[in-house]
Amino acid sequence: APLDAADGDLAQQLDRSHVFHSWSAQGTFAGLAIAGGSGTTVWDFDGRRYLDFASQLVNVNIGHQHPAVVAAIREQAEILTTIAPATVNLTRGEAAKRIVSRAPDGFNKVFFTNGGADANENAIRMARLHTGRDKVLSTYRSYHGNTGAAIVATGDWRRVPNEFARGHVHFFGPYLYRSEFWAETPEQESERALTHLRRVIESEGPASIAAIVLETVPGTAGILVPPPGYLAGVRALADQHGILVILDEVMAGFGRTGRWFAFDGYDIVPDLITFAKGVNSGYIPVGGVVIPDAIANDFDERVFPGGLTYSGHPLAMASIVAALDAMESEGIVTHAAEIGADVIEPALASLASAHPLVGDVRGEGVFWAIELVADRGTREPVSAATMGRIKAGLLERGVIPFIQDNRIHVVPPCVVTADEVGQAMAAYDEVLTTVERAGQ
Ligand code: PLP
């Protein structure tokens, strides 16, 4: 029988009693119980429909329940549900081939992990083994995952209670709206952020640094599209000192920016690429590292000291093959670029001109942030209480928002339609009006 309101109540009751949640004070945790979904829409057990403008955790790029991906998982489950990593598996080879075919020349291998954190964990391990160096540089405005090195490479508050891995150093990346460098133009921000990075490298001892880890477009930290020349400048500094560049494409990759890899839009080729989320839209947990020959060859004779029971799990592999094939044949990545440029960007520009609360909007593809301020002059962020009211108001209006600090991230699936963008924008507009009328 289809699930009904009683099932929703049971889900909530079991959750309260037995489920321990991520990044939450358990006593105050409250979550929606979602019964099903399709495309950009999900619904609860009472049949209330919501537009998922968070893509859950910015990972459901292909939309909910894409039939080809669901069918591929079902078919693979009937053939071979699980197999050890130290076996040869056709679906795994097909998935790896599809990933490297989108990477720059010379990237021919993939190490599969369970998600994004362990992708970064293993990329950092490879960089240390390849260079024989120890330190890892990353930015304060970053999130790289919740495991040993990845959480300490992370810049945001989540690092601080977890600082047990060693050899990590942080620096400030560019963020013109809240510049650390007194910059007033994107060019100044880029140049000054590079000078700062150069000074950090020199001060840490260039020969001790294995890698610089960067989100190509920092996501959770605010969708901080890099200013002109910044990534090329990082590449040049790294080359000068024999440092590897690891680009974390976990959130930005596989369609989110309107490109297969976000770095395709910038003048940089990384040394290692990490991915997860959009590669299969999270239908089965998976991530990985895309490895160039120059680093993969290190382990031709020498054993790679890393592995996972579920590396290259067949269900995950089948979902990658089907998701990437559907994204290609249905033009989903191109659609993300077009809907971003033609529909989301102008809609956010008019939202910004209508609402004094909006301090800044930025992004590309289906990867946008609306930054809300109490005062446009001082750029003081709106309060957490205001953000709570905005979140509740959007849910009431049938939009699942992605709220982070003083920002709404506009991050729907890549398949979102112009009509759905219009509905979400109307909800943002109404909620901002209500909050402004109430004097925030
Ligand atoms: N890297 C980035 C840029 C992310 O946004 C995330 C998750 O949000 C991760 C890594 C960690 O991925 P996972 O949660 O799959 O371990």
Same domain, 388 and 408: yes
pLDDT at residue 1 in the model: 65
Can you tell me which atom of ligand 1 is nearest the CA of 114? 15
For residue 287, list its beta bridge partners: 113
Final residue of a structural domain among 329, 346, 367: 329
Same domain, 399 and 317: no
The CATH number that applies at residue 105 is 3.40.640.10
Ligand 1 binding pocket mutation candidate from 58, 144, 151 (most atoms within 8 A of CB): 144
Same domain, 49 and 132: no
pLDDT at residue 440 in the model: 61
Final residue of a structural domain among 278, 300, 329: 329
Same domain, 292 and 208: yes
Residue 246 alpha carbon to ligand 1 centre in Å: 14
Greatest CA separation found in the chain?
68
The CATH number that applies at residue 366 is 3.90.1150.10
Residue 144 alpha carbon to ligand 1 centre in Å: 5
CA distance 325 to 237: 37
Q: Which domain holds residue 295?
A: 67-329
Question: What are the backbone angles phi and psi of residue 324, rounded to the nearest 5°?
Answer: -70, -40
Instruction: State how far the alpha carbon of 152 is from the alpha carbons of 23, 117, 121, 217, in Å.
Output: 16, 11, 10, 19
Residue 116 alpha carbon to ligand 1 centre in Å: 5
Same domain, 297 and 362: no
Ligand 1 binding pocket mutation candidate from 143, 254, 281, 310 (most atoms within 8 A of CB): 143
Same domain, 10 and 35: yes
Residue 201 alpha carbon to ligand 1 centre in Å: 25
Same domain, 263 and 118: yes
**CB-based burial label for 112 (10 Å; 0-12, 13-18, 19+):** buried
First to last CA, the chain: 45
Same domain, 164 and 275: yes
Can you tell me which atom of ligand 1 is nearest the CA of 146? 16
pLDDT at residue 3 in the model: 81
**Considering the entire predicted model, what is its pTM?**
0.98
Render each residue's pLDDT in the chain as its tens digit; 440 residues: 678 999 999 999 999 999 999 999 999 999 999 999 999 999 999 999 999 999 999 999 999 999 999 999 999 999 999 999 999 999 999 999 999 999 999 999 999 999 999 999 999 999 999 999 999 999 999 999 999 999 999 999 999 999 999 999 999 999 999 999 999 999 999 999 999 999 999 999 999 999 999 999 999 999 999 999 999 999 999 999 999 999 999 999 999 999 999 999 999 999 999 999 999 999 999 999 999 999 999 999 999 999 999 999 999 999 999 999 999 999 999 999 999 999 999 999 999 999 999 999 999 999 999 999 999 999 999 999 999 999 999 999 999 999 999 999 999 999 999 999 999 999 999 999 999 998 86
Same domain, 100 and 47: no
Can you tell me which atom of ligand 1 is nearest the CA of 116? 12
Closest to 336 in 3D by CA, of 59, 62, 42:
62
Final residue of a structural domain among 281, 304, 329: 329
pLDDT at residue 372 in the model: 98
Give the CA count within 13 Å in the CB-facing half-sphere of 393. 21
What is the CB < 6 Å shell around ligand 1? 57, 115-117, 120, 143-145, 215, 219-220, 248, 250-251, 276, 287
- The ipTM estimated for the assembled molecules is 0.99
Residue 91 one-letter amino acid: T
262's CB contacts (< 8 A; 6+ apart) are 216, 217, 247, 249, 252, 253, 256
Measuring from atom 13 of ligand 1, which residue has the nearest CA? 116
Residue 274 alpha carbon to ligand 1 centre in Å: 10
Measuring from atom 1 of ligand 1, which residue has the nearest CA? 144
Same domain, 110 and 208: yes
Measuring from atom 10 of ligand 1, which residue has the nearest CA? 144
Same domain, 380 and 288: no
Question: What are the backbone angles phi and psi of residue 86, rounded to the nearest 5°?
Answer: -85, 45
Same domain, 266 and 398: no
Give the CA count within 13 Å in the CB-facing half-sphere of 236. 10
As for how many domains the chain has, the answer is: 2
3-state per-residue secondary structure call for 202-271: HHHCHHHEEEEEEECCCCCCCCCCCCCCHHHHHHHHHHHHCCEEEEECCCCCCCCCCCCCHHHHCCCCCC
Measuring from atom 12 of ligand 1, which residue has the nearest CA? 116
Residue 203 alpha carbon to ligand 1 centre in Å: 29
Q: What is the DSSP letter of 384?
A: H
